[in-house]
Structure 1
Protein backbone atom coordinates (compact mmCIF):
# COMPACT_ATOMS: atom_id res chain seq x y z
CA UNK A 1 0.00 0.00 0.00
CA UNK A 2 1.25 3.46 -0.85
CA UNK A 3 0.16 6.52 1.11
CA UNK A 4 0.83 10.05 -0.11
CA UNK A 5 0.85 13.05 2.19
CA UNK A 6 1.83 16.65 1.54
CA UNK A 7 4.17 18.47 3.93
CA UNK A 8 5.80 21.87 3.69
CA UNK A 9 9.01 21.00 5.52
CA UNK A 10 11.05 17.93 6.35
CA UNK A 11 10.43 18.62 10.06
CA UNK A 12 6.65 18.44 9.47
CA UNK A 13 7.15 15.17 7.59
CA UNK A 14 9.19 13.69 10.46
CA UNK A 15 6.58 14.82 12.98
CA UNK A 16 3.74 13.37 10.91
CA UNK A 17 5.58 10.06 10.52
CA UNK A 18 6.21 9.87 14.29
CA UNK A 19 2.53 10.60 15.04
CA UNK A 20 1.49 7.82 12.65
CA UNK A 21 3.97 5.40 14.24
CA UNK A 22 6.06 5.21 11.07
CA UNK A 23 9.83 5.34 10.67
CA UNK A 24 11.10 8.06 8.37
CA UNK A 25 13.47 6.38 5.92
CA UNK A 26 15.21 9.58 4.91
CA UNK A 27 16.31 10.78 1.56
CA UNK A 28 17.05 7.55 -0.29
CA UNK A 29 17.10 9.25 -3.71
CA UNK A 30 19.79 11.69 -2.51
CA UNK A 31 21.87 8.91 -0.94
CA UNK A 32 21.74 6.80 -4.10
CA UNK A 33 22.53 9.80 -6.32
CA UNK A 34 25.55 10.67 -4.18
CA UNK A 35 26.83 7.09 -4.41
CA UNK A 36 26.77 6.98 -8.23
CA UNK A 37 30.23 6.62 -9.71
CA UNK A 38 31.28 7.88 -13.09
CA UNK A 39 30.52 5.28 -15.73
CA UNK A 40 33.32 4.41 -18.07
CA UNK A 41 34.60 1.24 -19.69
CA UNK A 42 36.79 -0.50 -17.07
CA UNK A 43 36.76 -4.29 -17.52
CA UNK A 44 39.21 -5.37 -20.25
CA UNK A 45 37.97 -8.08 -22.61
CA UNK A 46 38.85 -9.61 -25.94
CA UNK A 47 37.72 -8.34 -29.34
CA UNK A 48 34.74 -9.81 -31.15
CA UNK A 49 35.20 -13.39 -32.26
CA UNK A 50 36.63 -13.70 -35.76
CA UNK A 51 33.81 -14.42 -38.19
CA UNK A 52 31.01 -13.52 -35.75
CA UNK A 53 28.16 -11.19 -36.64
CA UNK A 54 29.19 -7.83 -35.21
CA UNK A 55 27.26 -4.56 -35.16
CA UNK A 56 28.37 -1.08 -34.15
CA UNK A 57 26.04 1.45 -32.50
CA UNK A 58 25.31 4.13 -35.08
CA UNK A 59 22.61 6.25 -33.42
CA UNK A 60 20.64 6.13 -30.17
CA UNK A 61 17.50 8.01 -31.18
CA UNK A 62 16.28 5.75 -32.70
CA UNK A 63 18.74 3.08 -31.63
CA UNK A 64 20.36 1.79 -34.79
CA UNK A 65 23.17 -0.75 -35.16
CA UNK A 66 25.16 -1.14 -38.39
CA UNK A 67 26.92 -4.38 -39.34
CA UNK A 68 30.74 -4.32 -39.35
CA UNK A 69 33.36 -6.95 -40.07
CA UNK A 70 34.84 -8.76 -37.07
CA UNK A 71 37.97 -9.23 -39.16
CA UNK A 72 38.51 -5.45 -39.48
CA UNK A 73 42.14 -4.78 -38.53
CA UNK A 74 41.70 -1.48 -36.69
CA UNK A 75 38.04 -0.82 -35.83
CA UNK A 76 37.05 2.64 -34.67
CA UNK A 77 36.17 3.49 -31.10
CA UNK A 78 32.54 2.86 -30.19
CA UNK A 79 30.00 0.43 -28.76
CA UNK A 80 29.75 -2.97 -30.44
CA UNK A 81 27.38 -5.90 -30.14
CA UNK A 82 27.91 -9.52 -31.12
CA UNK A 83 25.83 -12.66 -30.63
CA UNK A 84 27.39 -15.23 -28.30
CA UNK A 85 25.35 -18.41 -27.82
CA UNK A 86 22.23 -16.56 -28.95
CA UNK A 87 22.67 -13.67 -26.51
CA UNK A 88 24.02 -10.19 -27.18
CA UNK A 89 27.46 -9.32 -25.84
CA UNK A 90 28.24 -5.61 -25.62
CA UNK A 91 31.82 -4.42 -25.86
CA UNK A 92 33.32 -0.96 -26.08
CA UNK A 93 36.47 -0.03 -27.94
CA UNK A 94 38.56 2.86 -26.59
CA UNK A 95 42.06 3.80 -27.72
CA UNK A 96 42.75 0.41 -29.31
CA UNK A 97 41.52 -1.60 -26.30
CA UNK A 98 38.33 -3.60 -25.76
CA UNK A 99 36.17 -3.41 -22.62
CA UNK A 100 33.14 -5.45 -21.50
CA UNK A 101 29.98 -3.41 -21.07
CA UNK A 102 26.32 -3.54 -20.17
CA UNK A 103 24.08 -2.04 -22.84
CA UNK A 104 22.95 0.99 -20.81
CA UNK A 105 26.44 1.85 -19.57
CA UNK A 106 27.92 1.31 -23.03
CA UNK A 107 25.37 3.62 -24.62
CA UNK A 108 26.00 6.42 -22.12
CA UNK A 109 29.79 5.98 -22.40
CA UNK A 110 29.41 6.27 -26.17
CA UNK A 111 27.18 9.34 -25.88
CA UNK A 112 29.77 10.94 -23.59
CA UNK A 113 32.55 10.11 -26.05
CA UNK A 114 30.56 11.75 -28.85
CA UNK A 115 29.60 14.76 -26.70
CA UNK A 116 25.87 14.02 -27.13
CA UNK A 117 23.15 14.21 -24.49
CA UNK A 118 20.08 12.01 -24.01
CA UNK A 119 18.88 13.52 -20.71
CA UNK A 120 16.96 16.76 -20.15
CA UNK A 121 15.47 18.43 -17.06
CA UNK A 122 12.59 20.91 -17.00
CA UNK A 123 11.65 22.87 -13.90
CA UNK A 124 8.14 22.09 -12.62
CA UNK A 125 7.28 25.62 -11.60
CA UNK A 126 8.45 29.10 -12.31
CA UNK A 127 7.94 30.08 -8.68
CA UNK A 128 10.96 31.51 -6.93
CA UNK A 129 13.08 28.91 -5.17
CA UNK A 130 11.54 25.90 -6.95
CA UNK A 131 14.15 23.25 -7.58
CA UNK A 132 12.13 20.20 -8.64
CA UNK A 133 11.46 19.29 -12.20
CA UNK A 134 10.91 16.53 -14.70
CA UNK A 135 13.69 14.44 -16.22
CA UNK A 136 13.28 13.23 -19.80
CA UNK A 137 15.51 10.37 -21.03
CA UNK A 138 15.54 9.30 -24.68
CA UNK A 139 14.24 5.74 -25.20
CA UNK A 140 17.36 4.84 -27.16
CA UNK A 141 19.46 5.40 -24.03
CA UNK A 142 18.12 3.27 -21.17
CA UNK A 143 19.36 4.34 -17.75
CA UNK A 144 21.49 1.98 -15.68
CA UNK A 145 19.50 0.45 -12.79
CA UNK A 146 20.83 2.61 -9.93
CA UNK A 147 20.46 5.81 -11.93
CA UNK A 148 16.84 4.97 -12.70
CA UNK A 149 16.20 4.00 -9.07
CA UNK A 150 17.49 7.36 -7.83
CA UNK A 151 15.02 9.15 -10.12
CA UNK A 152 12.10 6.83 -9.33
CA UNK A 153 12.55 7.31 -5.58
CA UNK A 154 11.88 11.03 -5.97
CA UNK A 155 8.18 10.14 -6.29
CA UNK A 156 8.03 6.40 -5.59
CA UNK A 157 6.35 5.92 -8.97
CA UNK A 158 7.75 4.30 -12.12
CA UNK A 159 8.54 6.55 -15.06
CA UNK A 160 5.90 7.45 -17.62
CA UNK A 161 6.67 6.89 -21.27
CA UNK A 162 6.06 9.63 -23.80
CA UNK A 163 5.17 8.12 -27.16
CA UNK A 164 5.36 11.35 -29.14
CA UNK A 165 8.80 12.43 -27.95
CA UNK A 166 9.83 8.79 -27.24
CA UNK A 167 11.17 9.51 -23.77
CA UNK A 168 11.03 8.04 -20.28
CA UNK A 169 9.63 10.71 -17.96
CA UNK A 170 10.62 10.94 -14.28
CA UNK A 171 8.65 13.53 -12.28
CA UNK A 172 9.39 15.56 -9.13
CA UNK A 173 13.17 15.25 -9.44
CA UNK A 174 15.24 17.85 -7.58
CA UNK A 175 17.75 19.60 -9.79
CA UNK A 176 20.63 18.37 -7.58
CA UNK A 177 19.67 14.72 -8.15
CA UNK A 178 19.20 15.24 -11.90
CA UNK A 179 22.62 16.93 -12.06
CA UNK A 180 24.32 14.12 -10.13
CA UNK A 181 22.74 11.43 -12.34
CA UNK A 182 23.84 13.31 -15.46
CA UNK A 183 27.38 13.88 -14.18
CA UNK A 184 27.88 10.20 -13.39
CA UNK A 185 26.66 9.33 -16.90
CA UNK A 186 29.08 11.76 -18.53
CA UNK A 187 26.15 13.95 -19.60
CA UNK A 188 25.73 17.67 -19.26
CA UNK A 189 22.47 18.61 -17.49
CA UNK A 190 20.43 20.06 -20.35
CA UNK A 191 17.73 22.36 -19.00
CA UNK A 192 14.65 22.78 -21.21
Structure 2
Protein backbone atom coordinates (compact mmCIF):
# COMPACT_ATOMS: atom_id res chain seq x y z
CA UNK A 1 0.00 0.00 0.00
CA UNK A 2 1.60 3.22 -1.17
CA UNK A 3 -1.16 5.83 -1.43
CA UNK A 4 -1.41 8.29 1.45
CA UNK A 5 -5.18 8.05 1.85
CA UNK A 6 -5.08 4.26 2.05
CA UNK A 7 -2.23 4.39 4.55
CA UNK A 8 -4.17 6.76 6.81
CA UNK A 9 -7.28 4.59 6.66
CA UNK A 10 -5.22 1.48 7.44
CA UNK A 11 -3.68 3.20 10.47
CA UNK A 12 -7.07 4.41 11.75
CA UNK A 13 -8.61 0.98 11.17
CA UNK A 14 -5.89 -0.77 13.16
CA UNK A 15 -6.20 1.80 15.96
CA UNK A 16 -9.94 1.25 16.10
CA UNK A 17 -10.93 4.18 18.33
CA UNK A 18 -9.53 6.98 20.44
CA UNK A 19 -9.37 10.69 21.17
CA UNK A 20 -9.88 13.09 18.28
CA UNK A 21 -6.75 15.03 19.19
CA UNK A 22 -4.64 11.86 18.95
CA UNK A 23 -5.86 10.88 15.49
CA UNK A 24 -5.31 14.44 14.22
CA UNK A 25 -1.76 14.37 15.53
CA UNK A 26 -1.15 10.98 13.95
CA UNK A 27 -2.63 12.14 10.66
CA UNK A 28 -0.32 15.15 10.55
CA UNK A 29 2.72 12.96 11.18
CA UNK A 30 1.77 10.37 8.53
CA UNK A 31 0.48 12.81 5.93
CA UNK A 32 3.40 15.23 6.24
CA UNK A 33 5.80 12.53 5.05
CA UNK A 34 3.94 12.31 1.72
CA UNK A 35 2.16 15.71 1.49
CA UNK A 36 4.58 18.35 2.81
CA UNK A 37 2.48 21.30 1.61
CA UNK A 38 -0.86 20.41 3.19
CA UNK A 39 -2.99 23.30 4.46
CA UNK A 40 -3.68 23.83 8.19
CA UNK A 41 -7.34 22.75 7.89
CA UNK A 42 -6.64 19.66 5.79
CA UNK A 43 -6.86 17.20 8.70
CA UNK A 44 -10.33 18.39 9.68
CA UNK A 45 -11.57 18.17 6.10
CA UNK A 46 -10.13 14.65 5.75
CA UNK A 47 -11.91 13.52 8.89
CA UNK A 48 -15.25 14.94 7.75
CA UNK A 49 -14.89 13.23 4.39
CA UNK A 50 -13.97 9.99 6.17
CA UNK A 51 -17.20 10.28 8.17
CA UNK A 52 -19.20 10.97 4.99
CA UNK A 53 -17.66 7.94 3.28
CA UNK A 54 -18.54 5.80 6.34
CA UNK A 55 -14.92 4.95 7.19
CA UNK A 56 -15.37 6.21 10.74
CA UNK A 57 -17.80 7.86 13.13
CA UNK A 58 -16.94 10.91 15.23
CA UNK A 59 -18.50 12.25 18.40
CA UNK A 60 -17.54 15.90 17.89
CA UNK A 61 -18.98 17.01 21.20
CA UNK A 62 -16.90 14.58 23.28
CA UNK A 63 -13.94 14.63 20.88
CA UNK A 64 -13.90 10.87 20.32
CA UNK A 65 -13.79 8.74 17.17
CA UNK A 66 -14.12 5.08 16.19
CA UNK A 67 -13.59 3.10 12.99
CA UNK A 68 -16.80 1.99 11.27
CA UNK A 69 -17.35 -1.71 10.52
CA UNK A 70 -17.05 -2.87 6.88
CA UNK A 71 -20.35 -2.50 5.01
CA UNK A 72 -21.35 -3.32 1.43
CA UNK A 73 -24.31 -1.35 0.06
CA UNK A 74 -25.81 -0.87 -3.36
CA UNK A 75 -25.71 2.55 -5.01
CA UNK A 76 -29.21 3.76 -5.97
CA UNK A 77 -30.07 2.70 -9.54
CA UNK A 78 -26.40 2.70 -10.54
CA UNK A 79 -26.57 -0.17 -13.03
CA UNK A 80 -25.21 -2.97 -10.90
CA UNK A 81 -22.80 -1.02 -8.71
CA UNK A 82 -22.24 -1.17 -4.95
CA UNK A 83 -19.71 0.43 -2.63
CA UNK A 84 -17.66 -1.37 0.01
CA UNK A 85 -16.91 1.00 2.85
CA UNK A 86 -15.89 0.97 6.50
CA UNK A 87 -12.55 0.17 8.13
CA UNK A 88 -9.77 -1.60 6.21
CA UNK A 89 -7.43 -3.50 8.48
CA UNK A 90 -4.56 -5.53 7.04
CA UNK A 91 -6.55 -8.72 7.64
CA UNK A 92 -9.61 -7.34 5.85
CA UNK A 93 -7.54 -6.13 2.88
CA UNK A 94 -6.03 -9.64 2.58
CA UNK A 95 -9.51 -11.20 2.46
CA UNK A 96 -10.62 -8.59 -0.07
CA UNK A 97 -7.64 -9.24 -2.33
CA UNK A 98 -8.31 -12.98 -2.28
CA UNK A 99 -12.04 -12.50 -2.92
CA UNK A 100 -11.32 -10.15 -5.84
CA UNK A 101 -8.98 -12.69 -7.41
CA UNK A 102 -11.41 -15.55 -7.03
CA UNK A 103 -14.37 -13.59 -8.40
CA UNK A 104 -17.12 -13.58 -9.49
CA UNK A 105 -17.43 -9.85 -8.68
CA UNK A 106 -15.06 -7.14 -9.86
CA UNK A 107 -13.71 -4.51 -7.46
CA UNK A 108 -12.78 -1.11 -8.89
CA UNK A 109 -10.63 1.38 -6.98
CA UNK A 110 -11.87 4.89 -7.74
CA UNK A 111 -10.27 8.07 -6.40
CA UNK A 112 -12.08 11.18 -5.13
CA UNK A 113 -10.54 14.34 -6.58
CA UNK A 114 -9.17 16.73 -3.99
CA UNK A 115 -7.14 20.00 -4.16
CA UNK A 116 -3.33 19.59 -4.24
CA UNK A 117 -2.86 20.85 -0.66
CA UNK A 118 -5.50 18.58 0.85
CA UNK A 119 -4.72 15.15 2.30
CA UNK A 120 -5.67 12.48 -0.28
CA UNK A 121 -8.63 10.26 0.50
CA UNK A 122 -8.55 6.46 0.26
CA UNK A 123 -9.71 4.98 -3.03
CA UNK A 124 -13.41 4.11 -2.95
CA UNK A 125 -14.07 0.41 -3.53
CA UNK A 126 -16.81 0.15 -6.17
CA UNK A 127 -18.11 -3.39 -6.74
CA UNK A 128 -19.74 -4.52 -9.99
CA UNK A 129 -22.40 -7.22 -9.68
CA UNK A 130 -25.21 -8.88 -11.64
CA UNK A 131 -27.18 -10.65 -8.94
CA UNK A 132 -28.05 -9.29 -5.47
CA UNK A 133 -28.01 -12.74 -3.86
CA UNK A 134 -24.48 -13.18 -5.16
CA UNK A 135 -23.56 -9.77 -3.75
CA UNK A 136 -24.97 -10.68 -0.33
CA UNK A 137 -23.01 -13.94 -0.22
CA UNK A 138 -19.83 -12.16 -1.31
CA UNK A 139 -20.19 -9.65 1.54
CA UNK A 140 -20.69 -12.44 4.07
CA UNK A 141 -17.52 -14.15 2.86
CA UNK A 142 -15.60 -10.93 3.47
CA UNK A 143 -17.02 -10.45 6.93
CA UNK A 144 -18.83 -7.27 5.84
CA UNK A 145 -22.42 -6.38 6.66
CA UNK A 146 -24.78 -5.98 3.72
CA UNK A 147 -27.51 -3.36 3.42
CA UNK A 148 -29.61 -3.07 0.26
CA UNK A 149 -29.23 0.69 -0.25
CA UNK A 150 -28.11 2.92 2.61
CA UNK A 151 -28.76 6.16 0.67
CA UNK A 152 -32.47 5.41 0.23
CA UNK A 153 -32.89 3.94 3.71
CA UNK A 154 -30.99 6.76 5.41
CA UNK A 155 -32.85 9.49 3.54
CA UNK A 156 -36.19 8.11 4.71
CA UNK A 157 -35.05 8.37 8.34
CA UNK A 158 -33.53 11.87 8.31
CA UNK A 159 -35.00 13.75 11.28
CA UNK A 160 -36.04 17.41 11.21
CA UNK A 161 -33.68 19.81 12.95
CA UNK A 162 -34.58 20.55 16.55
CA UNK A 163 -33.01 22.61 19.31
CA UNK A 164 -33.31 20.28 22.29
CA UNK A 165 -30.35 20.61 24.67
CA UNK A 166 -30.39 23.87 26.59
CA UNK A 167 -27.17 25.34 27.90
CA UNK A 168 -25.90 28.38 29.77
CA UNK A 169 -25.14 31.72 28.19
CA UNK A 170 -21.51 32.52 27.26
CA UNK A 171 -19.43 34.06 30.04
CA UNK A 172 -19.52 37.84 29.99
CA UNK A 173 -16.33 39.38 28.63
CA UNK A 174 -15.02 36.13 27.12
CA UNK A 175 -14.17 35.94 23.38
CA UNK A 176 -17.29 35.31 21.31
CA UNK A 177 -17.93 34.94 17.57
CA UNK A 178 -21.17 35.09 15.60
CA UNK A 179 -21.68 33.29 12.29
CA UNK A 180 -22.33 35.60 9.34
CA UNK A 181 -24.60 33.72 6.92
CA UNK A 182 -23.74 36.04 4.01
CA UNK A 183 -19.97 35.73 4.38
CA UNK A 184 -20.03 32.12 5.50
CA UNK A 185 -17.65 32.77 8.41
CA UNK A 186 -17.55 33.66 12.09
CA UNK A 187 -17.02 37.28 13.08
CA UNK A 188 -15.81 38.48 16.52
CA UNK A 189 -18.50 40.25 18.57
CA UNK A 190 -18.36 41.91 21.99
CA UNK A 191 -21.56 40.23 23.08
CA UNK A 192 -24.65 38.45 21.74
CA UNK A 193 -26.42 40.48 19.05
CA UNK A 194 -29.76 38.74 19.04
CA UNK A 195 -30.77 35.33 17.73
CA UNK A 196 -28.10 33.50 15.78
CA UNK A 197 -25.27 30.97 15.76
CA UNK A 198 -22.30 31.68 18.05
CA UNK A 199 -18.93 30.04 18.70
CA UNK A 200 -16.93 30.21 21.92
CA UNK A 201 -14.32 28.42 24.00
CA UNK A 202 -15.40 26.68 27.18
CA UNK A 203 -13.37 26.64 30.36
CA UNK A 204 -11.84 23.32 29.28
CA UNK A 205 -10.59 25.10 26.09
CA UNK A 206 -12.94 23.15 23.83
CA UNK A 207 -14.50 25.24 21.07
CA UNK A 208 -18.28 24.81 20.92
CA UNK A 209 -21.23 26.20 18.98
CA UNK A 210 -24.43 27.51 20.54
CA UNK A 211 -27.64 28.91 19.11
CA UNK A 212 -29.45 31.82 20.74
CA UNK A 213 -33.18 31.77 20.07
CA UNK A 214 -35.85 33.72 21.94
CA UNK A 215 -33.48 34.50 24.81
CA UNK A 216 -32.56 30.85 25.37
CA UNK A 217 -29.22 29.20 24.54
CA UNK A 218 -28.98 25.73 22.98
CA UNK A 219 -26.11 23.35 22.25
CA UNK A 220 -25.55 22.54 18.59
CA UNK A 221 -22.99 21.52 16.00
CA UNK A 222 -21.75 24.06 13.48
CA UNK A 223 -23.61 22.41 10.57
CA UNK A 224 -26.90 22.02 12.43
CA UNK A 225 -26.58 25.54 13.80
CA UNK A 226 -26.16 27.01 10.33
CA UNK A 227 -29.36 25.40 9.03
CA UNK A 228 -31.26 26.13 12.24
CA UNK A 229 -30.53 29.84 11.89
CA UNK A 230 -31.05 29.74 8.13
CA UNK A 231 -34.45 28.06 8.55
CA UNK A 232 -35.60 30.77 10.96
CA UNK A 233 -35.27 33.43 8.25
CA UNK A 234 -38.41 34.47 6.40
CA UNK A 235 -36.67 34.95 3.05
CA UNK A 236 -35.96 31.80 1.02
CA UNK A 237 -32.26 30.92 1.05
CA UNK A 238 -31.84 28.56 -1.95
CA UNK A 239 -28.49 27.13 -0.79
CA UNK A 240 -29.42 23.61 -1.99
CA UNK A 241 -30.05 22.88 -5.67
CA UNK A 242 -30.68 19.69 -7.63
CA UNK A 243 -30.22 19.33 -11.38
CA UNK A 244 -31.28 16.16 -13.26
CA UNK A 245 -29.06 14.11 -15.54
CA UNK A 246 -29.59 14.49 -19.28
CA UNK A 247 -29.32 10.79 -20.19
CA UNK A 248 -32.52 9.12 -21.34
CA UNK A 249 -34.28 7.37 -18.49
CA UNK A 250 -32.15 9.08 -15.82
CA UNK A 251 -34.27 12.20 -15.24
CA UNK A 252 -35.04 11.17 -11.65
CA UNK A 253 -31.31 11.16 -10.83
CA UNK A 254 -28.99 14.13 -10.78
CA UNK A 255 -26.50 16.26 -8.88
CA UNK A 256 -27.13 17.93 -5.53
CA UNK A 257 -25.28 21.25 -5.20
CA UNK A 258 -24.58 22.70 -1.74
CA UNK A 259 -23.26 26.26 -1.50
CA UNK A 260 -20.09 26.94 0.47
CA UNK A 261 -20.75 28.19 3.97
CA UNK A 262 -23.75 25.86 4.40
CA UNK A 263 -22.18 22.40 5.01
CA UNK A 264 -24.50 19.44 5.40
CA UNK A 265 -24.60 17.79 8.85
CA UNK A 266 -22.77 14.46 9.10
CA UNK A 267 -25.78 12.18 8.54
CA UNK A 268 -27.17 14.20 5.63
CA UNK A 269 -23.74 14.34 4.01
CA UNK A 270 -23.27 10.59 4.39
CA UNK A 271 -26.63 9.94 2.74
CA UNK A 272 -25.65 12.17 -0.20
CA UNK A 273 -22.16 10.64 -0.52
CA UNK A 274 -23.48 7.09 -0.43
CA UNK A 275 -25.45 7.79 -3.61
CA UNK A 276 -22.23 7.46 -5.63
CA UNK A 277 -19.62 6.22 -3.13
CA UNK A 278 -17.29 9.19 -3.72
CA UNK A 279 -16.63 12.37 -1.79
CA UNK A 280 -18.38 15.46 -3.21
CA UNK A 281 -16.74 17.31 -6.07
CA UNK A 282 -15.34 20.73 -5.17
CA UNK A 283 -16.36 23.52 -7.55
CA UNK A 284 -14.11 26.42 -6.59
CA UNK A 285 -15.39 28.77 -9.27
CA UNK A 286 -19.06 28.20 -8.46
CA UNK A 287 -18.27 27.97 -4.72
CA UNK A 288 -20.24 24.82 -4.06
CA UNK A 289 -19.95 21.08 -3.46
CA UNK A 290 -21.52 18.65 -5.92
CA UNK A 291 -22.92 15.25 -4.92
CA UNK A 292 -23.52 12.94 -7.91
CA UNK A 293 -26.13 10.23 -8.66
CA UNK A 294 -28.55 11.64 -6.07
CA UNK A 295 -32.19 10.65 -6.69
CA UNK A 296 -34.53 13.62 -6.56
CA UNK A 297 -36.46 11.94 -3.74
CA UNK A 298 -33.27 11.78 -1.65
CA UNK A 299 -32.39 15.42 -2.39
CA UNK A 300 -35.91 16.47 -1.36
CA UNK A 301 -35.64 14.48 1.89
CA UNK A 302 -32.33 16.20 2.70
CA UNK A 303 -33.75 19.65 2.01
CA UNK A 304 -36.97 18.93 3.94
CA UNK A 305 -35.04 17.67 6.95
CA UNK A 306 -32.99 20.88 6.99
CA UNK A 307 -36.03 23.12 6.56
CA UNK A 308 -34.87 24.29 3.14
CA UNK A 309 -36.30 24.81 -0.31
CA UNK A 310 -34.70 22.62 -2.99
CA UNK A 311 -33.84 24.76 -6.00
CA UNK A 312 -33.53 23.45 -9.55
CA UNK A 313 -33.72 24.41 -13.22
CA UNK A 314 -36.58 26.81 -12.68
CA UNK A 315 -34.71 28.60 -9.91
CA UNK A 316 -31.46 29.31 -11.77
The reply to whether TM is greater than 0.5 is: yes
For the structure 1 residues 64 and 18, does the alpha-carbon distance in structure 2 shift closer, same or farther, using more than 3 Å as the test? Answer: closer
Q: Is residue 2:177 matched to residue 1:92? A: no
Please provide the CA RMSD for this pair: 2.7
- Give the number of equivalent residue pairs: 183
Maintained 8 Å contact 1:54/1:69: yes
Identify the residue that residue 171 of structure 2 maps to in structure 1.
Answer: 49
Maintained 8 Å contact 2:244/2:250: no
Q: Compute the TM-score of the two structures, normalised by the length of structure 1.
A: 0.83
Deviations 1:6-53 (A, max 9, x none): 35xxxxx98623356546631211110111100122210111111111
Maintained 8 Å contact 1:119/1:190: yes
Maintained 8 Å contact 1:131/1:174: yes
Alignment of structure 1 residues 23-172 onto 2, 5 Å = 25-60=147-182, 62-70=183-191, 75-84=193-202, 85-114=204-233, 115-125=236-246, 127=248, 130-172=251-293
Deviations 1:80-134 (A, max 9, x none): 1112244321110111111011000000111111242321111112746720010
Where 1:105 maps in the other structure, the secondary structure is helix
Q: Distance in 2 between matches of 1:53 and 1:19?
A: 58
Identify the residue that residue 17 of structure 1 maps to in structure 2.
Answer: 132
Unaligned runs of at least 5 residues, structure 2: 1-71, 81-127, 140-145
Q: Compute the TM-score of the two structures, normalised by the length of structure 2.
A: 0.53
Further displaced range: 109-118 or 137-146: 109-118
Q: Give 1 or 2: higher helix fraction.
A: 2
Maintained 8 Å contact 1:111/1:117: no
Q: Distance in 2 between matches of 1:149 and 1:39?
A: 16
Q: Distance in 2 between matches of 1:49 and 1:107?
A: 22
Identify the residue that residue 10 of structure 1 maps to in structure 2.
Answer: none
Q: Distance in 2 between matches of 1:19 and 1:145?
A: 31
Q: Which has the higher contact order (CA 8 A, sep 6+)?
A: 1
Identify the residue that residue 66 of structure 2 maps to in structure 1.
Answer: none
